[in-house]
Amino acid sequence: MALFELTLVLLLTAVALTALSRRLEVPYPSLLALAGVGIAFVPGAPMIEIDPELALALFIAPVLLDAAYDTSLRDLKRYRLSLLLLALGAVIFTTVVVAFVGWKMAGLPIAAAIALGAIVAPPDAVAASAVLGQFKVPHRITAILQGESLLNDATALLIYRLAVSAALGSIMLSNAIPVILLSTIGSLIAGYLLGRLSLLTLTRIEDAASSTVVQFAGTFGVWILADKLGLSAIITIVVYAITIARRAPRRMSARRRVSTYSVWESAVFVLNVLAFVLMGLQARSIVGRLSGEGQGEAFLFAATVLVVVIVARLVWVASYVAIIRWFARLGGEDSKRDLPTFGGAVLVGWCGMRGLVTLVVAIALPAGFPERDPIVLAAFAVVLGTLVLQGMTLKPALRILNFDPDRTVDNEVAQARVAVMQAALDVLSRKTSAAAAVVREQYEAQRVIAENPEDAQAATEYDRLRLYAINRQRDTLEELRSNGTIGDEAYHRLEEEIDWAELAASPAGRFQPLTTD
């Protein structure tokens, strides 16, 4: 019961910290990390151990699916070279450097040192995305960071699985290449087939709550099945999510989609909070087991790994940018288009904050793993250190780098809005009824605004009048319920209809309704 009560308190605390992070313009995981450490000093906090396989499935599967669902295949193709160099090259480079330090400094067995390197190698773009969005940095950078955070998990966890198996004696590192190839190919096929099968099921479910439950059950089921078959659960989930994301929008109703998005957003937030709670509880038990001289050595080793992780990423990113620009100079003018800049390299390198994946994979190390406590402590130090040091300084760094505001996504949205409005007008042109004329008039007004996104007066005139009417609708609906004319079921149905109308009237959240006074 104590753990349950502590979790409730931490969830409410996390909500407050999220609001504070927006005010301070820092990533909310940075504040969660500090709160997780604070748990280690709470008197009477329970000691808890979690099954390694449960930790991976419970925390990683839904978070990874949520990220993969929003991944742009266009951007993955457009920036494939940078993504390959980061998601594969940077992960391997960091793993090797950290493994060497662990082997030389802490005397870790080779397989255990490689496992530590794989644990701390993959950055998490979630921590940086909130701050980056406020500064409108170049779209290339945000697309690369988001794509990297998705793909590097697969690379790191594949290395991690092999290293753990080698450390426990169930596989030899020399036999790893055939295992990697079979696992990768099998995972790609399984993810696609399971995604298509899931679509057949989801399209037959109309109830929003049931659909959401099936989605969560399917996500965990895909992870467990892939793990049982010896495939890469990470790659399988990524392909599974992308397959659904490309085909589901036209097969699901708007009601189900809005409901699902809200639930998934809340679930990912809760999982982040719980992971940092577990970090605090695990850290306290580890520090308690490390006593005397061994404790000081463990903390020194953890601090060293933190520094190595930060420097290794900066060195790798700066090196590959320098090499790409050097080859571009040799290739003529055509090869110089859309080149990475050194300012962008600094930002990408500094956005290497570690988050949920590193936390959970460290917690998931088996109890009998060689030198488990120093490894987990080092992983926690990397998560806390990068989130606090890099997360808290990201805003000042962006001010110093002073990127020109990027309007790539805004321009694409404006262009698409005009196209969809025109498509509606085209299909209505053959309708001659009075109702069709009213609808055409509404779409014509919206198209004019879409064609002139900077014309605030036109937008205000059209949308504020709609919101003015909606505001009066809400007053009337409240009166009908207050005087007993309608019951709560009718009230909530009409409330939902008015909510949709209000969302349609304020597409960018810019407009305020006129008062009815």
Rounded CA separation 102/306 (Å): 12
Q: Residues 55, 223: contact at Cβ < 8 Å?
A: no
pLDDT per residue as tens digits for the range 70-114? 777 888 888 888 888 888 999 999 999 999 999 998 889 999 999
Provide the H-helix boundaries in 40-90: 52-55, 61-69, 73-78, 80-84
Which residues, 6 or more positions from 465, have their beta carbon under 8 angstroms from its beta carbon?
514
Would you state the pLDDT for residue 305? Answer: 95
Angle CA(340)–CA(345)–CA(351) in degrees, nearest 5?
130
Rounded CA separation 310/496 (Å): 48
Which of 480, 465, 65 minimizes the C-alpha distance to 271? 65
Total residues belonging to the chain:
517
Rounded CA separation 200/210 (Å): 15
Q: Give the other-Cβ count within 10 Å of 412's Cβ.
A: 11
Which of 288, 269, 274 minimizes the C-alpha distance to 41? 288
Q: Residues 507, 453: contact at Cβ < 8 Å?
A: no
3-state SS record for 299-357: HHHHHHHHHHHHHHHHHHHHHHHHHHHHHHHHHCCHHHCCCCCHHHHHHHHHCCCCCHH
Core vs surface per residue 480-510: b (16+ CB within 10 A) or e: ebeeeeeeeeebeebeeeeeeebeebbeeee
Rounded CA separation 36/289 (Å): 19
Which residues, 6 or more positions from 54, have their beta carbon under 8 angstroms from its beta carbon?
none
Which of 69, 122, 43 minimizes the C-alpha distance to 359? 122
Rounded CA separation 99/88 (Å): 16
Q: Residues 98, 316: contact at Cβ < 8 Å?
A: no
Angle CA(36)–CA(39)–CA(40) in degrees, nearest 5?
105
With a cut of 70, which residues of the chain have pLDDT below it? 1-3, 44-49, 127, 130-131, 133-134, 170-177, 179, 250, 254, 291-294, 330-338, 453-464, 505-517
Core vs surface per residue 353-374: b (16+ CB within 10 A) or e: bbbbbbbbbbbbbeeebbbbbb
Q: Residues 148, 93: contact at Cβ < 8 Å?
A: no
pLDDT per residue as tens digits for the range 333-344? 544 556 778 888
Would you state the pLDDT for residue 506? Answer: 63
The two structure tokens encoding residue 434:
């009075």
Provide the H-helix boundaries in 121-207: 126-135, 139-167, 176-202
Core vs surface per residue 450-474: b (16+ CB within 10 A) or e: beebeeeeebbebbbebbeebbebb
Would you state the pLDDT for residue 45? Answer: 67
Half-sphere exposure of 119 (CA within 13 A, CB side): 32
The two structure tokens encoding residue 472:
């009066």
DSSP 46: P
Q: Residues 113, 171: contact at Cβ < 8 Å?
A: no
